[in-house]
Amino acid sequence: MTRAVYPGSFDPVTLGHMDIIRRAAQCFDQVYVCVLVNCDKKSMFSADERVEMIRRSVADLPNVEAELYRGLLADYAREKGGHVIVKGLRNATDFDLEYQMAAINRGIWAELETVFLPASVEYQHFSSTMVREMIRYGQPL
């Protein structure tokens, strides 16, 4: 059974995130959506709210689970038996950051691979930051 982990803060989960989740669910037997807590970010939604949003959003995907984790991503992947991290990329800036993170995670656990999925064209320009701003100013999503 191939297990993958799709990590993020998901504050909030976006259509772009859901696109990556759905595509990953087609590629792997089991996908764990791991909500990680970033102490450097001020979140709009609590960690529990973010997990619940994802759970409702993936209810139709039997091979996808969402969980909160407060430790290192590599440790979570090892606990779940997931040897693959899935990351969505919108642009070259995302690639530069995620490539560095992939190297760090592989340094922590040598058996951990990172797979990059390019964002679908219709979601390349959306980010959680943009969605939060729209919510703050009462704009329709």
Pick the catalytic residue: 50, 57, 87, 128? Answer: 128
- Residue 90 is among the residues annotated as catalytic for this protein: yes
Greatest CA separation for the chain: 45
Token readout for 68 is: 């909160």
- Residue 136 is among the residues annotated as catalytic for this protein: no
Is-contact 116 94, C-beta < 8 A?
no
- Residue 46 is among the residues annotated as catalytic for this protein: no
Between CA 96 and CA 67 the distance in angstroms is 27
Contacts of 11 (CB under 8 A, 6+ apart): 41, 43, 44, 45, 50, 128, 132
Indicate the DSSP class of residue 122: G
- Residue 87 is among the residues annotated as catalytic for this protein: no
Residue 133: CB atoms within 10 A of its CB come to 12
Pick the catalytic residue: 80, 90, 106, 132? Answer: 90
The residues carrying an active-site annotation are: 17, 41, 90, 128
